Amino acid sequence: MPLLDALIGEDENNPPEAVVPQLDADRYYRWLTWATVPLHFVALIACAGWAGTQDLSWWALGLLAYVAGADAGLGLNTAHELGHKHNRLEQTTWSPGGS
């Protein structure tokens, strides 16, 4: 993923920092963040299930491991973002070590 990030470059479509408080207050973006949590679990369980039940070639298993690893990294990003929320439930429910 870091290599892809370096190749693709910075996304110029990101909202400016001045708009971030408005986006934090918007329920739509909060629900999107919450919706990704179960999807991360589904993806990881599906990758593990597929790897454990299918006769995969070495390259297919490697690709599946890459997908699972990328999903786990995105899951960490989601937990990080939820840790920034001001709601105590969001901070403690999803973030490991949340207080």
pLDDT tens, position by position, 71-89: 999 998 888 888 777 666 6
The answer to whether residue 85 sits within a structural domain is: yes
What is the residue range of 82's domain? 37-99
Q: Please spell the DSSP secondary structure of 31-91, one letter per residue.
A: HHHHHHHHHHHHHHHHHHHHHHHS---HHHHHHHHHHHHHHHHHHHHHHHHHHTSS-HHHH
Q: How far apart are CA 26 and CA 33, in angstroms?
A: 11
Segment 16-47, tens digit of pLDDT: 889 888 887 888 888 888 889 899 999 999 99
The answer to whether residue 89 sits within a structural domain is: yes
pLDDT for position 88: 66
- SS3 state of residue 8: helix
pTM here is 0.63
Give the total number of structural domains in the chain: 1
Name residues whose C-beta falls within 8 Å of residue 34's C-beta, 6 or more positions apart in sequence: 82, 90
